[in-house]
Amino acid sequence: MYPEYLVAPMRQELVDAGFEELKTPEAVESAIPQEGTALLVVNSVCGCAAANARPAAKSAVNHSKKPGKLLTVFAGMEKDAVEKAREYLLPYPPSSPAIALFKDGKVVHMIERHMIEGRPAQLIADNLVAAFDQYC
């Protein structure tokens, strides 16, 4: 686990953009909707989360069409909540950062770490917006 003082600003960046932070397995279970859409950001302390994933997610949710719920878990912090979230992300392997779009409780669009690293935030945001247009 990382010191809370280190991750607090990284958490707050998504919370300020309207994301609900999930810190327990029960919170994850109750937040992933069985009907409707949700965007889940698996947040991280890594540089690609700061430079690409968080800015992309924040930009994408300003689109006119967006998921009904905006959710986030923090890898390396609330281990049980992250493990529960990753159960919902199967068959995708653990990845942080990662961004998943759910529809009716199932992942319909997934952006894994290898799709985030080295790509500009705007390109990732455009990818998310296209998914929102298709599924939301």
What residues act catalytically? Answer: 46, 48
For the record, the structure tokens of 49 come out as 């989360």
Closest CA to 98 of 79, 113, 117: 113
Query: 74 with 21: CB under 8 angstroms?
Result: yes
Q: Which residues pair with 37 in a beta bridge?
A: 103
Residue 40 exposure: Cα atoms within 13 Å on the Cβ side: 35
Extract the tokens encoding 100: 């998943």
